[in-house]
Structure 1
Amino acid sequence: MENSNKLCFMCGAIDSDGIILNGEMICRACEEKIVRTSASDPEYDDYKDKVKVILFDEHAKC
């Protein structure tokens, strides 16, 4: 398994720890934020939209 640093799709941080979702890196900090965010939080829609871009290859402006 390749252990190279990649840019986090969500925040742009360079990290080697996190998850790969459809070929895109999400760092551990962003992963934890996504998991802890409830639907009533203001950040919820931003996270949802970015994950949709990854999953459905929507080339929307993030």
Structure 2
Amino acid sequence: MKLEVDVSVEEYNSLSKIVYLMNFLLPEKISIENYINLLIQQEIDLQNIYENLIFKIENKI
């Protein structure tokens, strides 16, 4: 079974930003405090996207 869910432009952009930061932003080029803050913000963004996608999936079922 394959379930497709539409992703908004905002969600896509947020995911793209998270992938970019995780792959290309070197931790040694920023302070540890700033890096931790980025990780926390990414976690919040991912949680919001996850909850939104779960809501969309539940509405399709």
TM range (shorter): 0.3 to 0.5
* Alignment TM-score, normalising by the size of structure 1: 0.36
More helix by share: 2
More strand by share: 1
Structure 1 or 2, whichever has the larger Rg, is 2
